[in-house]
């Protein structure tokens, strides 16, 4: 049996909805035990019960608002109390603030930076040493194709995902040969509650459902890439071509084209 096929304990943040919920289901289907973390305790408990019944795995829920002060320490304390060793950390929890940067409330920006950047950074740092001591571990960071280029209209969100992407690639090289691998999952437009919410709040950013990737397909790709130890996974051929194009073009061109599209969307609001 390959090391990646051995049942592991997987911690998923933001597990109550969207890509996080789909990732939890995909890991459970592969026979891995789960620690589910999110704000909505009732939804989390129902998901844990569903996965235990469907796959015969162990699944515990840790209701927690990761934007609250001291939340990472509280999560680590909950793991210690339950004597849980995390083999696979999935940094999925995140929020998207769309619209003109100058019109976004400072509190909303601070919350997004804390959840998208601060929490995964500190949680990875805290759980990395035990993985290294065991000689095996995986970190799956959910980034975005938005992290490959500036995206006016969701500029701060894209910047947080650029951070996640850069940190992932840096750590992947730092940890080469240790048995611990770090993967960035960079989905494009995906059919989740977040995508639908953005469309309702920002009519100019509405995306036809036919253009949204299936969330379960994205999750299965992410789980496979994580367990194999891939550094980067961009689901979907069109997304891979788009990210490749943005990396090959001069930055001024990518920035200018993004500005044309972004200003048009903001003007439609």
Active site residues: 157
Longest CA–CA separation in the chain, Å: 56
Nearest CA-CA partner of 187 in 69, 47, 20:
20
Nearest CA-CA partner of 61 in 24, 94, 115, 26:
24
Instruction: Report DSSP letters for 242-256, one per residue.
Output: HHHHHHHS-HHHHHH
Report how far apart the first and last C-alpha atoms of the chain are (Å, whole number): 54
């Amino acid at each position: 049996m390959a090391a990646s096929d051995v049942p592991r304990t997987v911690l998923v943040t933001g597990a109550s909805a969207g890509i996080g919920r789909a990732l939890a289901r995909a890991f459970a289907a592969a026979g891995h035990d789960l620690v589910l973390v999110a704000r909505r305790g009732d939804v989390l408990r129902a998901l844990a019960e569903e996965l235990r019944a469907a796959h015969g795995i162990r699944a515990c829920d840790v209701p927690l608002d990761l934007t609250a002060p001291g939340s990472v320490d509280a999560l680590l304390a909950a793991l210690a109390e339950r004597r849980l060793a995390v083999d696979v950390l999935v940094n999925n929890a995140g929020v998207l603030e769309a619209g003109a940067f100058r019109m976004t409330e400072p509190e909303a920006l601070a919350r997004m930076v804390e959840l998208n950047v601060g929490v995964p950074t500190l949680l990875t740092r805290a759980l990395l040493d035990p993985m290294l001591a065991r000689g095996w571990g995986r970190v799956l960071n959910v980034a975005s194709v938005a992290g490959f280029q500036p995206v006016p209209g969701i500029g701060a969100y894209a910047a947080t995902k650029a951070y996640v992407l850069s940190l992932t690639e840096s750590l992947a090289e730092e940890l080469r040969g240790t048995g611990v691998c770090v993967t960035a999952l960079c989905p494009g437009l995906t059919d989740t509650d977040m995508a639908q919410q953005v469309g309702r709040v920002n009519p100019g950013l509405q995306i036809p459902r036919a253009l949204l990737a299936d969330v379960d397909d994205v999750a299965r790709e992410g789980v496979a890439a994580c367990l194999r130890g891939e550094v980067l996974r961009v689901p979907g051929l069109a997304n891979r071509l788009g990210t490749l194009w943005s990396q090959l073009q001069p930055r001024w061109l990518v920035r200018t084209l993004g500005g044309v599209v972004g200003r048009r969307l903001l003007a439609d609001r």
